[in-house]
Amino acid sequence: MDKLIFNDKEFIYYEYINEAEFERYIVENANKIFGEKSIYVDIKKRIGDSILSIPDGYLLDFSFVNEPKLYIIENELVTHDPYKHIGQQILKFAISYKASGRKIKRFLLEEIQKNKYYLELVNDFIEKAKYRNIDNLIEEMVFGEVGCIVVIDQNTYELENVLSQITMKTDIVEFQTFVNKEGEKIFKFQPFQEDIKADIDTKTELSADDLDTIVVPAREEGFNEVFLGEDCWYAIRMSSSMLERVKYIAAYQSAPISAITYYAEVSKIERYENTNKYIVCFKDKAIKIQDIKLPKNNHKLAPQSPRYTNFRKLINAKSLDEIF
């Protein structure tokens, strides 16, 4: 069993009494889990006509100025059957939400307009994105492509297998709680879209909308056999919001080369086997470029997991600190 040490105190993994308790911590920490450019609407409303379902909540995500997105939230415990319970719920959502678009739009507007913080966030976004008004923005989000986020205390292969069979784009957020003898709790989670947000800051001068290239770390054997030999790269964890945005893939070869050495144009991105990971297929053979090297004084820049950047920025760079 995992344990955490904080301020000389030992914390052990906490098993939730029920889903309601788990969901309460999700709601309390929603801004930290989903980001400040999002609104978590904690409201349970039936959607659908003949096929009824009740999502645990809704997330309005404004990370991308040119493509704000609505997500249905499903908060779950690992003890729930991923096939009969979780998969069935998401399938109902996928079938039902379009039929209830007007209803969903109405109660989302009501929730935003009665909350001063939500209203300010949405009005700021409208000004940047040039939507006519709140009604126009929510209309496009509700009737555009809606995704699903499963927040769960422990991810499993069975869950990923179920989600891989569902056409609705889904993301998994693992949220765990640890407790000490005094009853103090600390939370462990990877924020939603953290892989994207790590590469959009004031230093890089990139917005989420600029990201069109994924950089993957590769060891020599896998690089030669797969990236160069099979014209693809697989078992990549990616946020669903990046699937239509990634147009290029670049390989960072680990030590002793320690540089981005090749890139390829992407032909398609698909689910990798029965998992919530992806395989990126190339249009043609990877192209050799001048090494984009790891700075000697900044080894922290070496990618340990997929990173994102802009292709034009990458192709003109000479060292990693120019793109990350």
Instruction: List, for residues 231-279, the tens digit of each pLDDT value.
Output: 999 999 999 999 999 999 999 999 999 999 999 999 999 999 888 899 9
pLDDT, the chain, mean: 89
What separation in angstroms does the CA of 60 have from each of 236, 239, 278? 25, 16, 25
Structure tokens at 33: 């889990």
What separation in angstroms does the CA of 149 have from each of 17, 61, 71, 198? 22, 12, 6, 19
Which three-class secondary structure state does DSSP give residue 91? helix
The most confident of the ranges 92-106, 160-174, 236-250 is 236-250
Which candidate, 201, 228, 195, places its Cα nearest to that of 214? 195
pLDDT of residue 51: 44
pLDDT of residue 53: 65
Structure tokens at 284: 């043609």
What dihedral angle (degrees, nearest 10) is formed by the CA atoms of 237, 241, 244, 250? -40
Domains and CATH numbers, the chain: 3-191 (no CATH), 196-322 (3.10.590)
Whole-prediction pTM value? 0.86
What dihedral angle (degrees, nearest 10) is formed by the CA atoms of 246, 195, 90, 243? 0
In this prediction, residues 24-34 reach a mean pLDDT of 95
Distance, CA of 211 to CA of 213 (rounded, Å): 6
Outline where the chain has alpha helix (H). Answer: 19-28, 30-34, 88-96, 101-113, 116-129, 134-143, 157-164, 194-197, 220-222, 311-315
In this prediction, residues 30-38 reach a mean pLDDT of 93
Structure tokens at 136: 């126009």
* Each residue's pLDDT tens digit, 55-88: 889 999 999 988 999 999 999 998 887 777 788 8
Q: Amino acid identity, residue 3?
A: K
